[in-house]
Structure 1
Amino acid sequence: MVSAIVVAGGRGKRMGTVQSKQYLNLNGKPILYYTIKSFLNCKLVDNIILVVPFHEIDYCKNEILNKNFIKVNKIIAGGSERYESVYNGLMAAEGSDIVLIHDGVRPFVSEKLINDSIMYAKRYGAAAPGVMPKDTIKVIDKNRFSIQTPNRSELVSVQTPQAFRYDLIYECHKKIKNEDVEITDDTMVAEYFGNNVYIYEGEYSNIKITTPEDLIIGEYLANK
């Protein structure tokens, strides 16, 4: 069984909005609508688990899901940190063979990326899409002076869905709670305990909507 955990606990700080960014509209529909629809349309996904802040559960059910006629198998409360929300989602996905973990504000994930993530997770145990940065990347010191220019061909900007064998990522998340380490994504959780993560070709259109500029691009992609 393949389960998709959609983590939608973001706030509107960088967006500059009071409303949580996953509920902002693109072409008349909430961002979260497009995200969930992508997984609903994928025949290889059996189960969708939506993770939102506890105080937003009723709003999400009534104003986002019901009003837009989209269904998820489970909607559960997240934690104060992203890794806690993912762990809650993993517990709700018990019995899965493969689990996909996806940002709720990446609404334009393609069916190909979802299918590829499942295929590579089955093959390697852990996988994520990534794209080469378009800009030159610099390493800076505390005074903001450039100290190093990494080789761009060796860098990737990692996206979601990040896909794993369920037992692998569940055990890693269960153990990471007792570690004093800052976690930025789920591939990092897997790698921390010695697991290799296969990075496959992502898509530049698979954007994460975080800033007002991203909304402009999102409107264009939604219209397409």
Structure 2
Amino acid sequence: MYSVIILGGGSGERMGLGYNKVLYKIKGLTVIEHAAKNFIHDEDFKEVLVVINRDDYDQVKLLFNHPKVRVIKGGNTRQESVYIGLNDLEDTSYVFIHDGARPNISAESIAKIKEKVREGSITLFTKANESLVYHSGNQIDEYINRDIIAMIKTPQAFLYSDIKEAYELAKKNHHEYKDDASVMIKEMGQKVFLLEGEESNIKLTTQFDIKIMEELL
């Protein structure tokens, strides 16, 4: 049994929108509706939990009219919002955690994660396809071997009981993290396995990202 937490707490500052970027419309749907749709249509998902900024809650709640979707208010940080979501989920075995600013997650990637998460915690990634360097100011210090670099994406998926315990420990220990895999690794000492995803699973950050996504969708 699977559930998904979709996080919609982003801003549109770097995109110059003046409002939450997950509310930007592409092809008649908001970004967060696109991010949720393949989970909604997947019969294996019992619950789709959308965690949104308090300021945008009323607007986002009106977007979803499906029995498996619930919209709840998040916290002040991504980590707080995930914690709230984990504690609000009903009975489930595995939980996916997905950024609502990634509207092009494919049904194929979701299916692959569903299969692999039964063997352990999973995060999608893509390979680095450009040269990477350490630098100081405006000069190159050293090249990095890009063959050992992974570009981390979401969804990330976990046994529900494990990721919930990991977030409980992070809260108790006052530790802060940028993503869910790092919480699992640092708090639980568990491995998180990589599953190669699609480069089209872009996180919307800039106006250029929007132009790409409008073509992809």
Q: TM-score range by the shorter chain?
A: over 0.9
Q: Is the 8 A contact 2:170 2:176 kept in 1?
A: no
Cα RMSD (Å): 1.5
Q: Look up the match of 1:81.
A: 77
Q: Deviations over 1:119-166 (max 9, x none)?
A: 221111x1011000121111224x353323221111111111100000
Identity of aligned residues (%): 31
Q: Look up the match of 1:57.
A: 57
Q: Is the 8 A contact 2:134 2:141 kept in 1?
A: yes
Instruction: Confirm whether residue 140 of structure 1 aligns to residue 135 of structure 2.
Output: yes
Higher strand share: 2
- State the SS of the aligned residue for 2:182: helix
**After TM superposition, which residue ranges in structure 1, 4 or more long, deviate above 2 angstroms?**
70-73, 143-148, 178-182
Relative distance call for 1:94 and 1:71 in structure 2 (3 A) is: closer
Number of residue-to-residue matches in the alignment = 216
Q: Provide the rounded CA distance (Å) in 2 between the counterparts of 1:135 and 1:14.
A: 23
AA paired with 1:92?
A: D
TM-score, normalization by structure 2: 0.94
Segments of structure 2 that go 5 or more residues without pairing to the other structure are none
Q: Look up the match of 2:11.
A: 11
AA paired with 1:164?
A: F
TM-score, normalization by structure 1: 0.91
Instruction: Confirm whether residue 113 of structure 1 aligns to residue 109 of structure 2.
Output: yes
Q: Provide the rounded CA distance (Å) in 2 between the counterparts of 1:144 and 1:91.
A: 46
Instruction: Confirm whether residue 210 of structure 1 aligns to residue 209 of structure 2.
Output: no
Q: Look up the match of 2:216.
A: 221
Segments of structure 1 that go 5 or more residues without pairing to the other structure are none
Of residues 114-123 and 168-177 in structure 1, the stretch that sits farther from structure 2 once superposed is 114-123
Q: Provide the rounded CA distance (Å) in 1 between the counterparts of 2:91 and 2:205.
A: 33
Q: Look up the match of 2:148.
A: 154
Q: Is the 8 A contact 1:50 1:72 kept in 2?
A: no
Q: How does 1:168-183 map to 2 (within 5 A)?
A: 168-183=162-177
Q: Is the 8 A contact 1:38 1:107 kept in 2?
A: no
Q: Provide the rounded CA distance (Å) in 2 between the counterparts of 1:117 and 1:144.
A: 40
- State the SS of the aligned residue for 2:56: helix
